[in-house]
Structure 1
Amino acid sequence: MSETPEQRRERLRLEEKKGNPIGNLSDATNSASSGSLVELVNGLGWKGTGILILVAIVGFILFSVFIR
């Protein structure tokens, strides 16, 4: 059975976390309090990430136009 790239990344991330728990302590603390950009992008996929970037750009343009 072939795993998807997302499943492979998650499996490798978990294996690394098991292999080096002390080294990941600060990473775990930081991502627990604010969330991780990697987890957000993995959850959204490439289409969702593209839409998020597009919304941010359009929002910035509209903000700059109405502030003038």
Structure 2
Amino acid sequence: MIEEKQTPEIRREKLRQEELKRNSSGYVKDAFNRDETGNLTDLVGSLGWKGTGILILIMIKGLIIAAIFLK
């Protein structure tokens, strides 16, 4: 009954935590691969909603500036 009230984000995080407990050596490999390729989900999750908003604003400003200079 408690699991039914959980949001999908909470369920995904619980599944990820359980997988880390079961396969900790695989996590090390994933961390090295994540460093090479990047992971938007982890970035946004660590920033929170304020940080994500600021990141989006910076990206939009960068696109506007690039459009002005490339015109």
Q: Which has the higher contact order (CA 8 A, sep 6+)?
A: 1
Corresponding residue number in structure 2 for 1:46: 49
Q: Tell me which moved more, 8-17 or 38-47.
A: 8-17
Corresponding residue number in structure 2 for 1:66: 69
TM-score, length basis structure 2 = 0.58
Output the CA distance in 2 between the equivalents of 1:28 and 1:44.
Answer: 18
Shift of 1:17: 3.9
Output the CA distance in 1 between the equivalents of 2:19 and 2:40.
Answer: 18
Corresponding residue number in structure 1 for 2:16: 13
Structure with higher helix content: 2
Q: Say whether 1:30 aligns with 2:37.
A: no
RMSD across aligned C-alpha pairs, in angstroms? 3.1
TM-score, length basis structure 1 = 0.60
Structure 1 residues without counterparts, runs of 5 or longer: 1-5
Paired residue type of 1:38? T
Deviations 1:19-61 (A, max 9, x none): 578xx8x855632423311110111001111110111011101
